[in-house]
Structure 1
């Protein structure tokens, strides 16, 4: 394309769909079952991160010590609970459905890049496919399919290779700090729409309050802005 935007890579929880609340509800329920109460500040630190990190944050916040086996069991419980909550409905984030549809209509390559494990991501993908009449992503990369998870650049770089595009021709759409960090570290321009935690300004990052009203032309501007900014760490 003349504008050189080749692909748009979307995060899932909190970016495309309102499922971060389910993760929070499950974490709070787990904390209660362990005899404590997870603080909102600790919950915010788990947004967009791996289950292992989330369990470590919860453990520290409650001031308890869990064995590795117990932490793994806690993580499985949270994932199972989130799957149950997803069964009650998976609403779109404002403007996400329209932007995703516009990106596909423009003929751009698309990817879903999420820290969520495949078994839960497939539940969301099924809901999206039912709404849009098919899965709108050329590539999907889940948290249990990568050598390193966000904020490492590996998930977004893996998606770019699978799509057959250069990172410099990609725009990432993210809501969390770890996701934004991952996209920028991969050498991609990032559109950040923070929902549950603050994301500070950074070179290559465009911040918006919502995806409502953002069209493909706006993503082209995000890419241009990212290219005019110095790469992180260089």
Structure 2
């Protein structure tokens, strides 16, 4: 009999909710204010990464050099604008995500939200999810400003597993971005990848699907059975 995971660890933007487009819009607006136009390739390279990395990708794309103070101000501007878009345009689910989160909770599996997004914006999404489901479905949340290192480092996923009190090898990570998938695999976890804005190559321990629609407990058990591919980094 295929064993269910002890915990399911979900990424947020682009995995559970349709908010990546808001980050993109904010980035494109910043690029225009700096006198340039961000390429689609550069935008794709920022998916799932930290704001610092995103700013560096943007500056390289535009051929700009900015000071540390300017980088911090630009990053804050993108975050503020993304928050505005979340508040005004809404936070829709990705296909199949609501059903999967609800099914995992109904089954009594431990859950965590693991996102690079800072707490102040993640809380906006968490409030929307809780209001829609009638309760907060996550036993733990780990945000980008609460970890010693961000994805693709395994630290966020290892931190979530520690909070939940579960072995990383018994967890399934659900991710859309390449850096998030790398982080989950490096943490020694099996990963279900649902890439949308970036191509993701096959890898040991990784199960790829086009969408979360139709994914339930049997599919998560199959993902766990296919991995993990390695011991957690640092072990």
Contact kept? 2:185, 2:230, Cα under 8 Å = no
CA distance in 2, matches of 1:2, 1:189: 14
CA distance in 2, matches of 1:198, 1:117: 25
Number of the residue aligned with 2:134: 133
- Residue 158 of structure 1 pairs with residue 166 of structure 2: no
Output aligned runs, 1:193-232, within 5 Å.
193-227=194-228, 229=229
Unaligned runs of 5+ in 2: none
Number of the residue aligned with 2:57: 57
Structure 1 residue 232: deviation in Å?
A: 8.9
Contact kept? 1:203, 1:226, Cα under 8 Å = yes
CA distance in 1, matches of 2:2, 2:25: 45
Number of the residue aligned with 1:173: 174
- Count matched residues: 233
Number of the residue aligned with 1:8: 8
Contact kept? 2:4, 2:220, Cα under 8 Å = no
SS of 2:8 mapped into structure 1 = strand
CA distance in 1, matches of 2:2, 2:91: 36
CA shift in 2, pair 1:230/1:157, >3 Å: closer
CA distance in 2, matches of 1:68, 1:230: 37
SS of 1:125 mapped into structure 2 = helix
Unaligned runs of 5+ in 1: none
Structure 1 residue 83: deviation in Å?
A: 0.3
Q: TM-score, normalised by structure 1?
A: 0.97
Aligned-pair Cα RMSD in Å: 1.6
Runs of 4+ in 1 over 6 A off after TM superposition: none
Structure 1 residue 230: deviation in Å?
A: 5.5
Structure 1 residue 2: deviation in Å?
A: 7.7
CA distance in 1, matches of 2:65, 2:3: 53
SS of 2:31 mapped into structure 1 = helix
Output aligned runs, 1:78-157, within 5 Å.
78-87=78-87, 88-157=89-158
Output aligned runs, 1:19-58, within 5 Å.
19-58=19-58
